[in-house]
Chains A and B, each alone.
Chain A
């Protein structure tokens, strides 16, 4: 099983839009994201900050939500994207 994280925020509209797409992808492709909320959970926030050097260069220099991270390959996808883009990213 791939080691995938989705960093998301409770009041982030982009995350709200992406969540059903992520859930659909999990069902259809038999993969699983560890979904970590970052504004109301300090442990999750610290974990996201610990990946700053990997995430920020690929996300406009910022720690944005949603951010998808493959912990093994350190590949990153951030922001609101289409279903097919997310699917393609997870299949890498």
Chain B
């Protein structure tokens, strides 16, 4: 089961089954201690700052840069999907894919949070013009 861990030196937060042996931020060994989800939330976002659409778009563009895919060049499509993602976050708690429906099984539904693990989807895998379910990410040509 995944838990929250905090580096006791630099307050780096890790969410995982076990803590990293070495903190990737301050490089200290064996620095992580388990903490509560509430503490993790307060440490990572003390002022409750919102992650708005523009910030999210920049984040996924940066994420895509290091991979074989890109954010869809079709701006109209991207804006429609961002609208859906942020509506879903507001109405249903997380940025669920606008082209799928949650099952109400929390573990299953985490697979629908954008960006999802679309590299294994039939719409992406082994396809020259592959894309994620909704089309937010497309294989770079």
- Closest residue of A by beta carbon distance from B82: A11
**What's the tally of chain B residues with a CB closer than 8 Å to chain A?**
23
Which of A12, A40, A52 contacts B99, CB < 8 Å?
A12
Q: How far is the CB of A89 from chain B (nearest CB, A)?
A: 19
**Distance from B3 Cβ to chain A, minimum over Cβ atoms (Å):** 28
Q: Does B64 contact A (CB under 8 A)?
A: no
Q: Chain A's interface: helix, strand, loop or mixed, by majority?
A: loop
Contacts across chains A and B counted by CB atoms under 8 Å: 63
Residue from A10, A16, A48, A60 within 8 A of B101 (CB atoms): A48
Interface pair B135/A65, CB less than 8 Å apart:
no
**Which of B77, B80, B102, B133 contacts A64, CB < 8 Å?**
B133
Q: Is the CB of B80 within 8 A of A9?
A: no
Closest 3 pairs (CB-CB, A-B): A11-B84, A63-B101, A11-B98
Residues of B within 8 A of A (CB): 77, 80-81, 83-85, 87-88, 91-92, 98-104, 121-123, 133-135
